[in-house]
Structure 1
Amino acid sequence: MKLIYSIHKYDVTMFTWVNVVAIRASLMPVCRGISRTADGLLYLLAAGWLYWDRGGQDGLLQAMVLAFLIERPVYFALKKGFKRNRPQQALSNFQSAIKPADQFSFPSGHTSAAFMVATLFGYCLPQLATALYCWAAAVGFSRVVLGVHFPTDTLMGMFLGVGTAFFSLNYVLS
């Protein structure tokens, strides 16, 4: 229990530092845009492009579908299991910049999906891997700046996304 309290205390400290009014206000428009890139439409477009360009038997498309079929149920189970309040509910006198889609914050689904897609496409297009991981990290950071996640929510999202992507790639391509 002491470990959980220490992690939460660190999380609140980091969250508060990131959300200093001056920093938050200057980053808000950019963070809104970055966050929107991970709302889901991009993933549907990527899957559609893979199907159109490479056909339904493409390993990357199959790995992407499998990864989402694994990641989404795990994500929802963690949300329901941990029931961690979002910063707006957990911290007095704090208002998030956007309205989250659901009640709980752990893990970050936007971050999870972004890192999953970055890992899948980075594996098949290694020349884009650095840019893809920078984008995924920016998605996670934007979710903290927007006030809908604590840093550890996005950290767990990263682990979940990368883990399901590697599992799916290994399963499909082996």
Structure 2
Amino acid sequence: MRVMNPIARFDLAFSLFCLQHRFNHQVALMSRAVSHTGDGHLYVVIALVAYLMDADAGKVFVLCGLSAFLIELPIYWALKNSFKRRRPPELSSQLISFITPSDRYSLPSGHTAAGFLMATIISQFYPQLTPIAFGWAGLIGLSRILLGVHFITDVVIGVALGIGCAELAMNLVGV
């Protein structure tokens, strides 16, 4: 476990940097709005728009998205319940959370995984939207840190999980 100590110290230091400033409440308001876009409802809207724009490509887009989430969700839950990493405020009384998370554990960030999963699929089907899609996914990940519910390594692992599951799903679908 010695390897984890420097990572845990970095996580704590980064969270303190992100949460202990005089504008943290204003930042949290913006972060809450960004984080909300990663709750899942927007993914359905994106899939619907893709289907309505071009039914044939939209069907493949939806199939890739559903397949990716079918791969990602069990892995996400297995990781959460294996690592059982406590959330930032539970590990340091100096840290606060601006929202109540939907589950108990911190690693990985599910919002980040889902955001990067969608960004990866969007970028495959609509390459011109790549900067917007990945920028949006990155903001979702950052918002989770700024809301005090995740450490940076939770977000990094969420990024890897989301991209990896999307790539696997697209390969399985044949895209």
Equivalent residue runs for 1:70-109 within 5 Å: 70-109=71-110
d(CA) in 1 for partners of 2:21, 2:82: 32
Query: C-alpha displacement at 1:138, in angstroms?
Result: 0.4
d(CA) in 1 for partners of 2:120, 2:12: 29
Query: C-alpha displacement at 1:82, in angstroms?
Result: 0.2
CA offsets 1:13-38 (integer angstroms, 9 cap, x no match): 11111112224233122111100000
* Alignment root-mean-square deviation, CA: 1.6
TM (norm. structure 1) is: 0.94
Q: Percent identity?
A: 37
Stretch deviating more after TM superposition (157-166 or 37-46)? 37-46
d(CA) in 2 for partners of 1:139, 1:130: 14
> What corresponds to 1:15 in structure 2?
15
Query: C-alpha displacement at 1:76, in angstroms?
Result: 0.3
> What corresponds to 2:59 in structure 1?
58
d(CA) in 1 for partners of 2:70, 2:79: 15
3-state SS, counterpart of residue 43 of structure 1: helix
Confirm whether residue 33 of structure 1 aligns to residue 40 of structure 2: no
Structure 1 stretches of 5 or more lacking a match?
none
Stretch deviating more after TM superposition (88-97 or 126-135)? 88-97
> What corresponds to 2:166 in structure 1?
165
Q: Which runs of 4+ in 1 moved over 4 A?
A: none
Q: Structure 1 pair 51/125, CA: closer, same or farther in 2 (3 Å)?
A: closer
Query: C-alpha displacement at 1:93, in angstroms?
Result: 4.0
d(CA) in 2 for partners of 1:99, 1:55: 40
Q: Structure 1 pair 57/115, CA: closer, same or farther in 2 (3 Å)?
A: closer
> Residue 60 of structure 1 contacts residue 169 of structure 1 at CA under 8 Å; is this kept in 2?
no
How many aligned residue pairs are there?
174
d(CA) in 2 for partners of 1:45, 1:139: 17
> What corresponds to 2:2 in structure 1?
2
> What corresponds to 2:139 in structure 1?
138
